[in-house]
Structure 1
Amino acid sequence: MSSVNRFIQFNNETINAKRMIQLEQLARALSRTPYLTLTVRKLMEFRPKEGAISISHFWQHRDPEVEQNGQLSDLYLLTAGYWRHFNLSSWNRYKKEVMQFPLKEFAMQLALSAEEFRLSNLIRQERPGTDKAFSVREDVYTTYHEQQMNVNLNKGFISDSLFNYLYLSLRKGSQTVIINDDIPGYFQRILSKWQFIYDAKSTADCCKICLDILYSLEEELTKDLTHTFLTIHENLLLLAYEAKAQHQIDQQNSDEQPIQDSIEEMFRAWHRESEKQAGPHMEFDLTKGNKGNTDNGRFEEGDDANEIQSEGVGSSHSNKKSKQDAQMNGKSEKKSTKHSGERFGDEHQFVTIEEKRIVPKEFSSLKNNILTIRAEQKPYVKAFTKEMRKRIDQKMENKRSNLTKGRLTPNLTSLLTEQRPKPFYKKNNPSLPLDAVFGLLVDSSASMIDKMDETKKAVLLFHDVLRDLGIRHDIVSYYEDAYEASEHEQPNSFLFCHQVEDGIKDHAAEILSLEAHEDNRDGLAIRWMAERLHKRPEKNKFLLLFSDGEPSAYGYAANGIVDTAEAVIESEKKGIHILHLYLSTAQPVEEQLQLFKMMFGPRTATARNVDEFTTQTLRLLRRMLFLIVK
């Protein structure tokens, strides 16, 4: 899980998790689509299979205000523009027409440039608050296309320079575009057709104008675009094809079904299909032997009369029969595996969760090691618990005086000296001063191997302090099996060192048996622990996470930071206080501190070396317990 210090800064770049969460929530609100997800890619994209849209990387590494407004303009175009106002049928017809031209890519990107202009004006009219974002967008892209036009002309990329020229003339006006002597004369002749874009009211209008321009360029240009300025059309081809196929199916089922012409409708169609595929029909038993056998590449013809030689069970089957048979044979399963599905978020749909008790190591030196560590930590534990008990006693002894009702004070002189005496008092309610439950998550990824010994000491200190104070708590090690992880299954394990049901039992041996494994999913672990804590009756709930870097697991590297930040926000909405301790063997760099601040906000602390693990653990515990007894 440790952050990798890559050899160039660009490769070590991390996204702003909080900003991405805000943009994703805005995208869902504008599109009215709660399942929509947001990513950053080279250029804007629609990705219906993943239920995702992508804003452009073009805006990063710019002035913060420009970056913010540029990303917003991408989002407005995708969700408030293309989402409902782009016609897939018109696009599909246009695509078929341009296939006969040598300038296919030019034709696609030109039509999308026209649509972007039409949709941005439409959004500005519907939502005046978007005007600033689009103004910034046009200023930045105008400067970009001015530079690119000259570069492309010098390199002989005439189609690219024509695209730049048409973009500029539409945004700046044909009279303000600086004309270079090297620009071919037919550039200006094309403008007479291109200017009709100002009057375009639909996708069909834009496509018709672009088609007229292509016919005019037949004898002038033969080489297609060299650069890619827009990539939305790559998945729009897929969407247009799906729209046609779906329309044909609907016509067969019902003559009254309308064709799905918008991107919004097609995304929902994809989403419905994915929901169907995840349903219970995927649970199956193979009980008929009507398929032929194979032996060394030779196939035997299938026959219904063949005997069953083996029986298979679908991966999502509960397999209750196998468990019952195991119990009848005198065997009991020591672990339980659960399928995550949509329970812990889209990033963990194919995760399988295994919950089990950690098996303590049976080393002769383990007991001596426990005694040695506890002897070292005893002064800290004793001083800390004494301090906390003193605060609890102060809270219990405090009383409110000068009241009009309650218990009568021994000193009744106020009855004689005051005009309106208040000789009564009340004691504060001393019940359940430490009504709390704790959950400690310990990252057990491979990068923890050089920190595990000191981590065990910090965890044991945590365990001993809470046992002394009589506070219930969970201590759980979590990791993902990287060797078994695949696209359709990612096995994750949660190993209990101590459970809330154990009360104040001593599980030092289990804590000192912790080991480093492979990968980790922090977002999954936080949601899993938050779910356990949320079910508890205690008033105060705390989640403490020990980790040594950023999340890393199968298919999780790209979105792990955002997913973890989302998990933190979701848990805090449930009333669970989260604190994070970054375990490091060296002084953390500014980049790492910013990363953890993005994921955990101000609720993160740093241990600059292994010697600080225990002291930082005490500091976090003090911070948490003060919230209870304040």
Structure 2
Amino acid sequence: MYRFIDFNDEKADTFLLLELSDLAKTLAKSALYETEFRVHSYLSTRDRKVFVSHFWNHRPEGIKKSGMKSDVYLRAFGNRSFTDFQAVDAFRDIMVTFPVPRFAGQLLMLAEDLRVEELCKKERPGMGNEFGVRRKMYTEYFNSQLIVNLEKNFFADALFNLVYLFLNSGSPVLTTPSFNQEIDESIPFIRSEIEDLYDANSTKDAADICLRVMERAAPVLKSDMINEYFHLPGREQNFSDDPSFLDLLRKDPLQNDDMAEEKAGGDEHVQEEEMKTWHRETDRPGKSFMQFELDQGTKTDIAGGSEREGEEGDQALAVVQGRSKQTDKKDYSRLELTSPDESEALEGKSKYGRANKNARPVFLKARKPDKEAMAVYGKLEKDVRFYHKKLKNIIERIMEKKETDPRTHLQMGRLGKNLLSFFTDEHPKLFYKKSYPGKEIDASFILLVDCSASMIDKMEETKRGVILFHETLKSVAVPHEVIGFWENANEAAADDQPNYFFQAIPFSKSLQQLSGPEIMELDAMEDNRDGYAIRIAAERLLDRTEKQKFLIVFSDGEPAAYDYDNGIVDTHEAVMEVRKKGIEVFNIFLSNSGLEFEQRRVFENIYGNRSIIAPYVDELPDVLFPLLKKLLRQSINL
């Protein structure tokens, strides 16, 4: 059914989203960073995500792409490299004391974005074009917002718009509109403070300047900002799960706090490690401090901090002579350790995609069909018999032609009897070869049927399409498999998501004369995790020895499953991965109520130009006939 009004029905452009994700991974130098769309753009180091703003939606394609790239540049490269989040947190603690904290927070974000932008362009001049588009669009936007906010008497919002224009105006002379007498008198002082942002060399410098601006602006603003133009992320978003060297050092106090009575003699041998504890289990200071217990200990007056660098004369175990020299690579305090999750991702251990790390397959086999199932199957098979017989005849004629067609007029082979062309043609072809027997179709198919709940009104027509495939492939001896897939929503949990694969027709039975009625067991069930199902089916195809492999996905909508919000992107990634392995992937989109533009766009984004649209499900046989004909002809060895 067509929807009259779509509420929050934005569809992700998967190609663009994947491009932005790859860009974020490259700039952040981490395979774990992902890109998502949000109302505002910001960086979350805790979740390892770069959020791209919806501000760029519904703009010309060139502007939209450049603007979104500029968001990724600012967050994945700029904020990660040049923003001091401790200074941001310190400013956050102070800004709550102002009567207009929203104005203060957005002012810092604006100042930091402009500072970081200049650093990004200095480090990577190639980013300049995207940032140029960004400034132009924001300047136009804030010009219009300034007029709107002044008309509504939103003076805090209008002043923020004016601040942006002060910092980004291409003209040295900017006409300042009138607010009220109090604000108008303060604007020259605010502008003089703002211009100091051009000289800010750090986040702390920008924060200090913003505080001075707030001292001027806060007294004249009677209310805070209504709109949010730049987002100040919460303190927790800046916490990273990656442990640093300092995180490994002990910081908790000992259980006891006492001093040893006996003083050190000065000839004790202190190990060159940071083990600043001495134990009450030892009665007196000895000549070796190798024994240690980190839970409790007694402090002594033996001085620490006397470490020295290694020398060539040092020995290991008095046997191996070491060779060392001074190096400047000493400071490990800022070295970030690779987390186990990141190591796993980099090593490619996420076999079925990160979104499916907790999914597991459960394979089900078909029961022996009863008389009722066989009767219904016979009726549906009769409906598509015309199509599969026609296909069979076409394929048989093609294969027969390959077998009987003579091969004459060749450059090499056996010399023919007609030598006239030797005298008449500039490049005569006088040879021929004997005919050779045609080859069988060297291909295998898997038909993957979406058994989600939304298929309940389309399953009967889908079965007709599947029967057409099955009967045609069986008639020309092409091995195939029919699998229905779904995820059980009631059983799914955060750490376990069982996905069921019902093998209606397995490869082993696909060419048997009586196979087929098992298809009638396909039924609408629960959710659909398409990316995972495609990867599982591809594994089964890769085990086949046929030269060509085809995966046909019958589906009626977008992926939807437990913790699968990024299902469109994951399914697109699965399709791309499988195609790189030599498997042709096609999608058959089913509908009972016509096709909306957004639905068409989603499936084209996922499957590219290999998404076959059946706007009405009763047209399915007419849609499948040319596809199956094309694939079978392609599979006949020439």
- TM-score, normalised by the number of residues in structure 1: 0.79
Matched, 1:132 2:129: yes
Q: Distance in 1 between matches of 2:510 and 2:617?
A: 29
Q: For the Cα contact (< 8 Å) 1:341–1:351, is it kept in 2?
A: no
Which whole-Å CA distance do the structure 2 matches of 1:161 and 1:174 have between them? 20
1:49 & 1:500 partners in 2: Cα distance? 46
Distance in 2, Cα, partners of 1:250 & 1:180: 57
Amino acid at match of 1:175: V
Deviation at 1:565, TM superposition (A): 2.2
Deviation at 1:496, TM superposition (A): 0.5
- The answer to whether the Cα contact below 8 Å between 2:111 and 2:206 also exists between their aligned partners in 1 is yes
Aligned: 1:531 with 2:528: no
Q: Report the counterpart of residue 313 of structure 1 in structure 2.
A: none
Q: Distance in 1 between matches of 2:82 and 2:248?
A: 22
1:21 equivalent in alignment to 2:18:
yes
1:168–1:177 Cα contact (<8 Å) kept: no
Measure how far apart 1:555 and its partner are.
Answer: 3.1
Q: 1:394 to 1:573 in 2, by over 3 A?
A: same
Q: How many Å apart are 1:432 and its aligned residue?
A: 4.3
Report the counterpart of residue 498 of structure 1 in structure 2: 505
Q: In the aligned structure 1, how far is the partner of 2:509 from the partner of 2:152?
A: 74
- Cα deviation per residue 1:461-510 (whole Å; 9 max; x = unaligned)? 21111111111112100111122223333221111112223351243121
Please name the residue that 1:227 is paired with: 227
Amino acid at match of 1:65: G
Shift of 1:422: 5.8
Change in 2 beyond 3 A, CA 1:427/1:541: farther
AA aligned to 2:547 is: K
CA deviation after TM superposition for structure 1 residue 518, in Å: 1.4
**Structure 1 segment 143-158 matched on structure 2, within 5 A:** 143-158=140-155
Q: CA deviation at 1:248?
A: 5.0
Alignment correspondent of 2:79: 82
How many Å separate the matches in 2 of 1:47 and 1:274?
A: 17
Give 1:446 deviation, angstroms: 1.2
Alpha-carbon deviation of 1:376?
3.9
Distance in 1 separating the partners of 2:496 and 2:241: 31
Query: What is the CA–CA distance in structure 1 between the aligned matches of 2:633 and 2:224, rounded to whole Å?
Result: 68
| Distance of 2:582 and 2:505 partners within structure 1 | 23
8 Å Cα contact 2:190-2:213 kept in structure 1: yes
Determine the structure 2 residue equivalent to 1:203. Answer: 203
What is the aligned partner in structure 1 of residue 473 from structure 2? 466
CA contact (8 A) 1:437 1:540 kept: yes
Distance, in Å, in 1 between the alignment partners of 2:428 and 2:150 is 95
Report if the CA contact (8 A) 1:88-1:243 is conserved: no
1:53 aligns with 2:60: no
Q: Distance in 2 between matches of 1:472 and 1:624?
A: 14
Offset of 1:67 from its aligned partner? 1.9
Q: Which residue of 1 aligns with 2:559?
A: 551
After TM superposition, give the deviation of residue 412 of structure 1 in Å. 6.4
Tell me what 1:302 maps to.
none
What is the number of residues matched between the two proteins?
555
What is aligned with 1:356? 364
Q: Which moved more, 1:374-383 or 1:59-68?
A: 374-383
Q: Are positions 1:72 and 2:69 aligned together?
A: yes
* C-alpha contact (below 8 Å) 2:399/2:439 kept by paired residues: no
Equivalent AA in structure 2 for residue 141 of structure 1:
Y
1:249 matched to which residue of 2? Answer: 247
Residue among 377, 384, 396 paired with 1:389:
396
Aligned to 1:518: 526
RMSD across aligned positions (CA)? 3.3
C-alpha distance in structure 1 between counterparts of 2:340 and 2:99, whole Å: 36
Larger radius of gyration: 2
Corresponding residue for residue 574 of structure 1: 581
Q: Is the 8 A contact 2:150 2:179 kept in 1?
A: no
Q: Is the 8 A contact 1:341 1:350 kept in 2?
A: no
> Helix, strand or coil: the match of 2:521?
coil
User: 1:371-395, CA deviations, whole angstroms, 9 ceiling, x for partnerless residues?
Assistant: 3333443333222112102112223
Q: Deviation string for 1:184-238 (max 9, x for gaps)?
A: 321220222221211223223222322333344565557544332222x314x22
Unaligned runs of 5+ in 2: 252-272, 275-329
Q: In the alignment, what sits opposite 2:445?
A: 438
One-letter code of the match for 1:627? Q
- Quick check: 2:487–2:500 contact (8 Å CA) kept in 1? yes
Question: Which residue number corresponds to residue 212 of structure 1?
Answer: 212
Once the two structures are superposed, what CA deviation does each residue of 1:310-333 show, in whole Å capped at 9, x if it has no partner? xxxxxxxxxxxxxxxxxxxxxxxx
The 8 Å contact of residues 89 and 243 in structure 1, kept in 2 or not, is answered as: no
Secondary structure of residue in 1 paired with 2:457: coil
Q: CA 1:99–1:528 in structure 2 vs 1: closer, same or farther (change >3 Å)?
A: same
Give 1:10 deviation, angstroms: 3.9
1:238 maps to which of 232, 236, 239:
236
Partner of 1:11: 8
Matched with 1:327 is none
Shift of 1:43: 0.5
TM-score, with length taken from structure 2: 0.78
For 1:388-467, what aligned pairs fall within 5 Å after superposition?
388-398=395-405, 400-403=407-410, 405-409=412-416, 423-426=430-433, 432-467=439-474
For 1:390 and 1:244, the matched residues in 2 are separated by 64
Amino acid at match of 2:236: L
- Counterparts of 1:609 and 1:217 in 2: how far apart (Å)? 61
- Determine the C-alpha separation between the residues in 1 that align with 2:245 and 2:216: 34
Which is further off, 94-103 or 410-419? Answer: 410-419
CA distance in 2, matches of 1:413, 1:42: 79
Does the residue aligned with 1:111 lie in a helix, a strand or coil?
helix
- The answer as to whether partners of 2:44 and 2:237 remain within 8 angstroms in 1 is no
Superposed CA offset, 1:521-545 (max 9, x none) = 2222222212222332221111111
Q: 1:11 to 1:361 in 2, by over 3 A?
A: farther
Tell me, in whole angstroms, the C-alpha distance in 2 between the residues paired with 1:370 and 1:9: 39
CA contact (8 A) 1:5 1:12 kept: no
**Structure ranking higher in helix proportion:** 1
Is the CA contact 1:436–1:539 (under 8 Å) kept in the aligned structure 2? yes
Change (3 A) 1:241 1:159: farther
Greater shift, 416-425 or 180-189, is seen at 416-425
Of 26-35 and 598-607, deviating more is 26-35
Query: C-alpha distance in 2, partners of 1:501/1:620?
Result: 24
In 2, Cα distance between equivalents of 1:115 and 1:569:
38
Please say if residues 403 and 422 of structure 1, whose CA atoms lie closer than 8 Å, have aligned partners that are also in contact: yes
Aligned CA distance change for structure 1 residues 607 and 421 (closer, same or farther; 3 Å): closer
Report SS of the residue matched to 1:512.
helix
Measure how far apart 1:245 and its partner are: 8.9
The percentage of aligned residue pairs carrying the same residue is 33
Distance 1:444 1:514 in 2: 7
Matches within 5 A, 1:156-305: 156-172=153-169, 175-182=173-180, 183-217=183-217, 219-221=219-221, 223-231=223-231, 233-235=232-234, 237-240=235-238, 248-252=246-250, 258=332, 272=339, 274=341
Q: Which amino acid aligns with 1:589?
A: E
* Number of the residue aligned with 1:295: none
In 1, Cα distance between the equivalents of 2:529 and 2:385? 34
SS of the residue 1:545 aligns to: strand
Instruction: Give the Å deviation of 1:416.
Output: 8.9
> CA separation of 1:565/1:365 partners in 2, compared to 1, >3 Å: closer, same or farther?
same
Question: Structure 1's 67 and 381: CA in aligned 2 closer, same or farther, altered over 3 A?
Answer: same
Structure 1 gaps, min length 5: 279-339
* 1-structure distance, mates of 2:245, 2:159: 37
Q: 1:395 to 1:101 in 2, by over 3 A?
A: same
Aligned counterpart, 2:324: none
Q: Is the 8 A contact 2:534 2:575 kept in 1?
A: yes
Q: 2:496 aligns with which of 481, 489, 496?
A: 489
The equivalent of 2:33 in structure 1 is 36
Report the 3-state secondary structure (helix = DSSP H, G, I; strand = E; otherwise coil) of the residue aligned with 1:585.
coil
Take 1:420 and 1:440, find their aligned partners in 2: how far apart are those partners? 50
Which residue is 1:621 aligned to? 628
